[in-house]
Amino acid sequence: MTAAAIATNLAVLGYYKYANFFIDSTNHFLGWHLDVLAVLLPLGISFFTFTQIAFLVDVYRGIAREYSFANYLLFVTYFPHLIAGPVLHHKQMMPQFANPDTFRINPHNIAAGLTVFVLGLAKKVLIADNLALAATPLFNAASAGVPLTFFEAWIAAFAYTLQLYFDFSGYCDMAVGISLLFNVKLPINFDSPYQSASIIDFWRRWHMTLSAFLRDYLYIPMGGSRHGGPMRRHANLMITMLLGGLWHGAGWTFVVWGGLHGVYLIINHGWRALASRFGIAHASVPWRLASVALTFIAVVVGWVFFRADKFDTAWNVLAGMAGLHGVSLPFITSVTLPKIAFVALFIGAILVWACPNLQRLLEQHMSVEHPEMHWPAIVIKAKSLLSFVNPSALMAVTSALLLFFVVLAIRSNGPSEFLYFEF
């Protein structure tokens, strides 16, 4: 019964998200001429499908014991996280829904939630959307066959790398803030991933709830690293990352992105085993800086495939990053880019590498629930959050001014989509 229920969820996801991908691939590789289907992709289908699968597996394992249909619907359709995460766990949410205090107005939670919401919205509107003004035209030029020079390619890749982070982490912060208004605490989803000193560390910091889902419901059930030796572990890692890439988008560039990270992880595990065997120490500051730089470059290369609409676009950008299309003067590009895009690049870089993130600022105010699970159930304690945001007149004015500039930016630039809305 459990297998049938999971298969049904995957079949629905496969039809809506991957039917035309398989039709296009079949036409391309076999020379057929099958007509594509008129399919409208439901918003957030991957997120609520994963949520339902996690619930089914937990019921099968005896972890989830609360079966109220009304609460199940609330759990699956809870709107703050529905479109772009974080991926939620049944045991994280049910105790909160069952708590009578959840249904009472809480001024502390409202103040904290509004503050976090404004911070997330500012990340999205003031930083991510302005970074798109550099990334989008340069990637569009690469897609049209314009060879990008060294600096053009790196500006494109770097701008998109920061855009994706501030777009997605901004949404997750907004989801956390909105949920706090309803007295429900969601897990933090990012922990300064671009400060990671290894790819293994990166996947513990980037989209943490998805990483945990792939580990607990795919990698470990396949055997993880416990059975079959290193080769089996590497195969499990590669399968997990390939499926994780395909989950992000119905395209071969996403599969390559997932496979590339699978290769990264295999190399990283191999290096750790080699360093441990020969007693290679790597605790010095220069070593860590070099490790962070190398990890970031590897991640940027992967994001090029993630962003490219086709392989030719990715090869164009990567060739430019390697200097194969020539080296122009810094910040002199064949595509006209607004100055605000470079300001956003500068501010974004400072926030990524020189400032603590929401999790680090609040880690002393967090708690980990359900330690028997491998799931990252780190949630905000709203009253303690207020000790950080300091609900004074100054903080209120600061938040109001930030929101004012966000509204002005939205009014000036018009609406923009969240990059993760269709994943």
Beta carbons of 258 and 214 less than 8 angstroms apart: no
**What is the token pair recorded at 48?**
């609520």
**What letter represents residue 92's amino acid?**
Q
The tokens for 279 are: 């007693």
Catalytic residue IDs: 248
- Dist CA 176 CA 366 (whole Å): 13
Angle (CA) 79-56-381 rounded to 5° is 45
Query: Helices 69-77 and 90-98, interaxial angle, to 10°?
Result: 120
Tokens 């290679």, located at residue: 280
* Alpha carbon of residue 26 to chain centroid: 30
* Measured distance CA(149)–CA(142) in Å, rounded: 10
> How far is the C-alpha of 21 from the C-alpha of 14, rounded, in Å?
10
> What's the CA gap between 183 and 199, in Å, rounded?
35
CB 207 within 8 A of CB 190: yes
The amino acid at residue 227 is: H
Structure tokens at 191: 């922990």
SS3 225: coil
Tokens of 244: 């994780």
Write the DSSP assignment of 318-372 as a string of letters: HHHHTTTT--PPTT--SS---HHHHHHHHHHHHHHHHS--HHHHHGGGEEE--TT
